Amino acid sequence: MTTKTEYMQRLWKRYEDENDHLPTSAREVVAWAVKEKLLQMPVVDPLDVLAGQMARALREEYDTDNQGRRYRKNHAVRVMKNGVQLTLWGIMEHAPRLHMAKAFSQRREQVIGDLSQLKIDVDVYNEKNAQEQPIQLVLDFTDDVAEREINNKAA
């Protein structure tokens, strides 16, 4: 049985094959698939839409501390409750330490996962394109973080 994700991937490949493999947006491919009756417009739960908008708003709220550091105010923790994954939000100034420790740990794991996959992607690209100069990937962010801290203090 094909999952929805696998079906979407097949639609993407079909569109790409029919359009000379040129980079395009997901929105353009979805519009094509709906027009071709390969996808149907979803029935949307308004609460899910609003909850997504709320989560984006919470993620984007920043404040500045008395040292001039801009920080994210709201932090999310993913938990399983009765077999359902939930995201619980807490305001930094009020959330229990355990919530904040989990939030920071989960964000760190996301970063590690993204970087691990990025390294694999770059390595595979370089191997598939061995005739070209390899793309270099630097995974030591010490200097980058220090530079951002300096720039944030100057701002």
DSSP 30-85: HHHHHHTTSS-PPP--HHHHHHHHHHHHHHT-EEE-TTS-EEE-EEEEEEEETTEE
The length of the chain, given as a count of residues: 155
10's CB contacts (< 8 A; 6+ apart) are 2
Query: What pLDDT score was predicted for residue 155?
Result: 65
Q: What is the mean pLDDT of residues 113-123?
A: 98
Q: What is the mean pLDDT of the chain?
A: 94
Query: For residue 15, what is the enclosing H or E element?
Result: helix 4-18
Amino acid at 7: Y
Quick: pLDDT tens for 55-85: 999 999 999 999 888 999 999 999 999 999 9
Query: What pLDDT score was predicted for residue 152?
Result: 77
Residue 31 pLDDT > 90: yes
